[in-house]
Structure 1
Amino acid sequence: MLRVLDHANDPGKGRDSEDRVGHRAAEGIAWIVDGATDMCATRLFPEAPSDAFWFADAAHDLLRTLPAGAPEAVVAALIDGLRERVEAHTGAPAGRIPPGDMPSAALTRLHVDPASKRMVFASFPDCTAIVLPAAGPARPVAKAPPRLDEQAQARALIAAGAEIPSVLRAQRAMMNRPDGYPVLSVHPAAAARLDLRTEPAAAGTRVLLCTDGFYRLVDMYGLYDDDGLIRAALDGGLAALVGRLRGFEADAAENARFGRFKTSDDAAALLLEIQ
């Protein structure tokens, strides 16, 4: 159903990667997870490299084992499973976690539905999926517009010398609130805010799933458009693209110019072909 052509998961400088890529290719399922960088006042999982690492790992492990089914049901079960694991590990109800300390992650899960012959993308911001049909140019899978322009925010906060972690932690407290933003976390209400998109699943179609750290090649550095990115991945491999990406991420003095909170973010990608 799915053939894995290439994959990459490269940590940001001096880090353990908080991204995960996975697949159950024979079942037509693949996913990419991007753990939200810690802004917590108190660590929930101090034995792990970071809370984001622990949470991304838990989501990845559950996605490997959850029964296949409708995307909404799978993601609801994923959220329930994450809440159970968080509560078992911390020994307390998840509701006691301060809102700004709640672990979260971006997610895109792909399922090829053989009955409808379509791909279903189930997502929480902010990973990217690019589809390249057997004939014609590639196109990004549509997604909900971002709640705010993170690059503009980063430039403004850096220029103002703001205490960035405290600002971002306050924003995290808005996750999955009606007036906030949707994200994969342990809130049951998050399941209703899952973004679902479909695309034709003709044989020979290629798909690139990537985290925002990898997608910097397009939206931050302007080295490729969506069509050029997936074709470069097919022609030269994902590792070469990661190498080119890192060439722009050696100097923290460039953070304000590019509008980035982290000089070097984790970068993960999964390149697939529909069979």
Structure 2
Amino acid sequence: MFTVLDRISWPGHPDKPNEDICGASGDWAWVIDTSIFPGTKPVMDGKSDAAWLARFADERLSDLAPYAQDGVALLRHVMEEARTAYRAVAPSERHEDFVAWPLGAMTLVRRRGNVLDAWTFGDTTAYVRQPDGTVQVLGDAPNLRDAESAKAAELMQQAGSKPTAILDAPVFLAWLGERRERQRKSGVPAALLSFNPDAVDRLRHETAPCADGTVILLASDGFSALVDLYEAMDAGAIMEAALTSGLEPLAKLAREIETERDPDGRLYPRFKASDDATAILLRV
């Protein structure tokens, strides 16, 4: 089983809902980072359908994970339930309009004997620290981060904008609209947590050793930015800091970098001044 050593979940902006969540239950744990196309009218939650999806998945995983045998089957079941709940409320024209759905990156882990299974959608990360101090990084986040940061730099330069304003810039909205239409025309929903249960067939699955004493840090991209965007530390250092001082000083460091060292996004191009930052620290 996992012992939760610490957890944290900070919204990226005090006036906007936190669309991240994390949790643990028995031999299972997860971090979820949801989003939705800007301007999409919410139907499940007064402020954010993305926040609703995160809460729904967290609650169902908490209930179902202790009895599950396989991560793919578990996530398929949760996504089927989410789809049913959404269709019971959403207008019929939104049922199959996947570009209007909330979507989620997530990492789900399970201890199986002395093995850790990790299933990943998108850019959440699992850092796994073995009892001998070696650290393994699981997930796609570093590669995805490079592409996103490059696009943010390109669009901010074109708009003459900063991370605090880029989401409202015409050049960003045009790019987002083009991407949305390409996705719609392709007819293929993204490989993310959503209302498309078949997306689980495209989950990334990895394993790592998981003996007693192993420590695991699950992080959304707003937290893992310390490693893969701001390069304030490497994977080993973030694990050491988390174990020594807890997660709050690390979240504070991310906010310091975003608000004091690089508010203009010149050093670290990004689409938000600060993203939701969520992490859960576990010991086996």
Q: Is the structural similarity TM-score above 0.5?
A: yes
For 1:147 and 1:227, how far apart are their aligned partners in 2? 19
In terms of mean alpha carbon deviation, does 71-80 or 61-70 score higher? 61-70
The alpha carbon displacement at 1:180 in A equals 7.3
Structure having the larger proportion of residues in helix: 2
Q: Is residue 229 from structure 1 mapped to residue 238 from structure 2 by the alignment?
A: yes
1:242 alignment partner in structure 2 = 251
- Describe the SS at the equivalent of 2:116: strand
What is the CA deviation profile of residues 192-236 of structure 1, one whole-angstrom value per residue up to 9, with x for unaligned ones?
101111111100010100000001111121111000011111111
Unaligned runs of 5+ in 2: 160-169
Q: Quick one: percent identity of the two aligned structures?
A: 30
For 1:137 and 1:84, how far apart are their aligned partners in 2? 43
The alpha carbon displacement at 1:183 in A equals 1.2
Paired residues in the alignment total 267
2:119 alignment partner in structure 1 = 122
Q: Given the two structures, how large is their TM-score scaled by the length of structure 2?
A: 0.86
Sort the Cα spacing of 1:267 and 1:126 in 2 relative to 1 into closer, same or farther, 3 A: same
1:106 alignment partner in structure 2 = 105
Q: Given the two structures, how large is their TM-score scaled by the length of structure 1?
A: 0.88
The alpha carbon displacement at 1:143 in A equals 3.7
The alpha carbon displacement at 1:184 in A equals 1.2
Sort the Cα spacing of 1:194 and 1:111 in 2 relative to 1 into closer, same or farther, 3 A: same
The alpha carbon displacement at 1:188 in A equals 2.9
For 1:42 and 1:180, how far apart are their aligned partners in 2? 17
For 1:171 and 1:180, how far apart are their aligned partners in 2? 13
Q: Is the 8 A contact 1:158 1:256 kept in 2?
A: no
Residue correspondence of structure 1 range 42-191 to structure 2 within 5 A: 42-45=40-43, 47-66=45-64, 67-92=67-92, 95-97=95-97, 99-114=98-113, 117-143=114-140, 145-146=143-144, 149-161=147-159, 162-172=170-180, 174=183, 181-191=190-200
Q: Is the 8 A contact 1:48 1:54 kept in 2?
A: no
Sort the Cα spacing of 1:182 and 1:47 in 2 relative to 1 into closer, same or farther, 3 A: closer
Q: Is the 8 A contact 1:120 1:198 kept in 2?
A: yes
Sort the Cα spacing of 1:118 and 1:227 in 2 relative to 1 into closer, same or farther, 3 A: same
Q: Is residue 201 from structure 1 mapped to residue 201 from structure 2 by the alignment?
A: no
Amino acid at match of 1:164: F
Unaligned runs of 5+ in 1: none
The alpha carbon displacement at 1:147 in A equals 9.3
